[in-house]
Amino acid sequence: MSPQSALKRPPALLPSAPAGEPATTVERERRRGRGSLSNASGRYEPVARVAFDDGWQGLDDLPPFKTTVIADSTRKIITRNDSPDISFDRSINPYRGCEHGCVYCFARPTHAYLGLSPGLDFESRLFMKPNAPELLERELSAPGYVPKMIAIGTNTDPYQPIERRYKIMRRILEVLDAAGHPVGIVTKSALVLRDLDILARMARRDLVKVALSVTTLDPKLARTMEPRAATPPRRLDALRQLVKAGVPASAMVAPVIPALNDDEIERILDAVASVGVRHAGYVLLRLPLEVRDLFREWLIANFPDRYRHVFKLIRDMRGGKDYDSTFGQRQTGTGPIAWMIGRRFEVACEKLGFNKERRKIATEHFRPPRPGAKQLDLF
C-alpha cells in the first residue's frame, strides 16, 4: 500500500499509538522535550510518509529527534510587509524554525516552503543566518533608505536556545545600536537579559522596546505547551530586570486559548504589574494551515476532556471556522466569546493603569553604517 493511501485509511486502522494519543504520533522517547506529537510531510511534498511498524524493523530502532542547525544563505535580511493590522512594515528573522517547540506557533507552516514538516522538523531542523549583521549593514546603507522601527521576533524567536551559541541577535543589535536605528523585540526567553547592556544603551536614545510573551503562570501547562521556552517565573524576572534597567518593556498575553488559559488573563496582568510593567497586549490563538492539526493532536493527547469544548469556542470566535485570516480580525476574533475576552483584558488593564502612555521610538539618531562613497570632482 502506498504512503498516500495509508494516510487515507480510517484512524482506527492506522498503526497503534500510546493510549490517549492520536495514532499518527511519534513515539514519546523519540520526541522527548518537543512540543509537536507528529511530523507529517509538508503540504508541497509529492508524497506523504508515515512511519509504522511493518513487522520487519521496530520503531524503537529509529533515532530520536535531535536539533540540527544549517546555515541559511539568504541574500536579504529585512523583510517588508504591508499588512494593515500590524504596527510595523519591516522585520528581521535571524532564524528559521524554533527550538522552543510551542505547539501553537503560527510560524510552523513556513517550514513547508523548505520541504520540511511544520511538526517536529520545525523545532529540530533549524536554519540560522550567520551573515545577517553584514546584510543588515548593507541594507541600512542603501541610498534612499528611510529608517522606521524594525520588528524582530514576530515570526520565530530571536532568543531561542541556539542563540547562546551563534549570537546572531546580539550582532544585529550591535549594528542597530551603532547606526542609531530603532528596533522592537518580541521574545519568550530570559536570554534577552544577556544583551541588557546594548538594550539599556539604546533605551536612553528611545531606540528600543521589548515585549515578553507570558502565556500562562502554570508551570505544568507551560512545560507541556512551550517545552523549551523560559519558565513563567524566569519571564517575569526578565521583565523586572528590563524595567529596572530602563528598557521599555511590555507583556503579551499570547496566545489566549479559550477553556485552557483564558481564565488566567487577570492573574497574568497582575503578575506583570508587580514587576513594574505598565504596557500589555493580547492575541487570540491562531490556527493557520497545519497548525490546526498539530494543535488538535496535542489537545487530544493532553486535555482529551476539553478537546471538543476548546474547538467549539475557537469556531465561535472565528465565524464557525477553525481560523479566519481576515485583517483586523485574525488577532482578536469575532463574536460574543471574543468580545468578552477583549473586554476582560481591557477592564483589567484599566484597573492596573496599563497602556496610558504611547511609547516614543526615535529615528533622528539614524546614521547609515556604511556612508556612500563621495563622488570625485571632475576637475
Residue 106 has a pLDDT of: 94
At residue 203, the pLDDT reads: 98
Q: Is residue 30 part of a domain?
A: no
Is 275 among the domain residues? yes
Q: Give the least confident one: 17-26, 175-184, 188-197, 368-377.
A: 17-26
Q: Is residue 245 part of a domain?
A: yes
Range of the domain at 246: 64-352
Residue 370 pLDDT grade (very low, low, confident, very high; cuts 50, 70, 90): confident
The residue-averaged pLDDT of 95-121 equals 96
CATH number for the domain including 267?
Answer: 3.80.30.30
Q: What is the pLDDT of residues 39-82, one digit of tens each?
A: 988 888 887 776 666 666 555 667 888 999 999 989 999 999 98
- Span of 43-47, 81-85, 237-241 with lowest mean pLDDT: 43-47
Least confident interval from 56-60, 85-89, 123-127, 233-237: 56-60
pLDDT confidence of residue 30: 87
- What's the pLDDT tens digit per position in 290-345? 999 999 999 999 999 999 999 999 999 999 999 999 999 999 999 999 999 999 99
Its pTM stands at 0.88
Residue 229 lies in a domain: yes
**Quick check: is 10 in a domain?**
no
Q: How far apart are CA 149 and CA 143, in angstroms?
A: 18
**Average pLDDT rounded to a whole number, residues 251-263:** 97
pLDDT band at 27 (very low <50, low <70, confident <90, very high): confident
15 in a domain, yes or no? Answer: no
| pLDDT over 60 at 16, yes or no | no
Q: Does the structure show a pLDDT above 60 at 101?
A: yes
The tally of domains found in the chain comes to: 1
- pLDDT given at position 376: 46
Query: Is 24 a domain residue?
Result: no
pLDDT of residue 290: 94
CB 190 within 8 A of CB 127: no
Give percent above pLDDT 70 in the chain: 88
- The reported pLDDT for the residue numbered 99 is 97
Give me the pLDDT at residue 62, please: 74
Q: Is residue 343 in a domain?
A: yes
pLDDT tens digits, 161-176:
999 999 999 999 999 9
